[in-house]
């Protein structure tokens, strides 16, 4: 049977991503939606993007953009202060490429530029950070989609009646936040936490850390 699986914020944690993808045992019938923030803070953003570029060969892969991708691309085109991006995790990203913006592979930048702002299915929608409960998904402000934590502004159920699956707001205890109408799967992998994947139909989740440990569970 096909599965729709969301993956939370990776933040340069390539070892955790590798362990998680192995545990998922993906095939061509599966749809994987990654929620953005692939780069910054963790040690190996380059390795993360290399793995994500291979996912198209294993499943139907729909990557979202996160605020950290926006910052990286902004640093490249001059709309983001380079020092500010480095402070928010860009220094670790640059180190994974050898030190300079010019060393980031063109294929990685092309991948990041093609990431979408949302994905919608019959029962769920997927965004990086947050949403306006009264607005259609294609009319959402970027300030909500990419930047606003649900701990700052917790949205009510969306007018569509669909369940929101988001990242961006780190759950420091490593546990998935399940509010019923909203599920947050950023479980803070880069800060000794876990990288989470969620099968949205069954509620089954998998988590991996940078040591390669894997654990599983089911949302209740």
The predicted-structure confidence for 85-124, as pLDDT tens digits, reads as follows 999 999 999 999 999 999 999 999 999 999 999 999 999 9
Domain count, the chain: 1
| Per-residue confidence band for 191, with pLDDT thresholds at 50, 70 and 90 | very high
The H or E element containing residue 163 is: strand 163-166
- What pLDDT does residue 36 have? 98
| Per-residue confidence band for 24, with pLDDT thresholds at 50, 70 and 90 | very high
CATH of the domain at 37: 3.60.21.10
Cα–Cα dist 199/84, whole Å = 35
pTM of the complete model beyond 0.95: yes
Backbone angles phi, psi at 21, to 5 degrees: -65, -35
Write out the residue range of the structural domain in which residue 191 sits. 4-218
Token output for 171 = 């759950």
Average pLDDT of the chain to the nearest whole number? 98
Sheet of strand 204-208, all strands in order from the earlier edge strand to the far edge:
60-63, 31-34, 4-7, 195-199, 204-208, 214-218
| Per-residue confidence band for 220, with pLDDT thresholds at 50, 70 and 90 | confident
| Per-residue confidence band for 39, with pLDDT thresholds at 50, 70 and 90 | very high
The H or E element containing residue 142 is: helix 142-142
Percent of the chain with pLDDT over 90: 99
- Alpha-helical runs (H) found in 5-129: 14-24, 45-55, 67-77, 82-85, 91-97, 106-114
- What pLDDT does residue 10 have? 98
- What pLDDT does residue 52 have? 98
The H or E element containing residue 60 is: strand 60-63
Closest CA to 148 of 164, 132, 125, 137: 132
- What pLDDT does residue 1 have? 79
- Provide the pairing of β-strand 4-7 with 31-34: parallel
Note whether 6 and 185 are within 8 A (CB). yes
């Amino acid at each position: 049977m096909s599965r729709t699986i969301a993956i939370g914020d990776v933040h340069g944690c390539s070892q955790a991503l590798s362990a998680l993808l192995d545990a998922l045992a993906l095939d061509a019938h599966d749809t994987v939606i990654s929620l953005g923030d692939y780069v910054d803070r963790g040690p190996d953003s380059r390795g993360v993007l290399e793995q994500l570029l291979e996912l198209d060969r294993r499943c139907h892969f729909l990557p979202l953009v996160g605020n950290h991708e926006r910052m990286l691309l902004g640093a490249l085109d001059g709309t983001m202060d380079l020092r500010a991006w480095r402070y928010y995790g860009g220094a670790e990203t640059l180190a994974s490429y050898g030190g300079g913006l010019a060393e980031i592979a063109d294929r990685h930048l092309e991948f990041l530029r093609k990431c979408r702002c949302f994905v919608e299915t019959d029962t769920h929608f997927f965004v990086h950070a947050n949403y306006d409960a009264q607005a259609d998904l294609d009319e959402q402000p970027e300030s909500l989609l990419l930047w606003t934590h649900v701990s700052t502004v917790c949205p009510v159920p969306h007018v569509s009646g669909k369940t929101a699956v988001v990242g961006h707001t780190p759950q420091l205890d490593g546990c998935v936040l399940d509010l019923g109408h909203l599920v947050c799967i950023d479980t803070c992998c880069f800060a000794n936490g876990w990288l989470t994947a969620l099968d949205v139909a069954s509620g089954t989740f998998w988590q991996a850390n940078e040591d390669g440990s894997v654990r599983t569970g089911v949302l209740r």
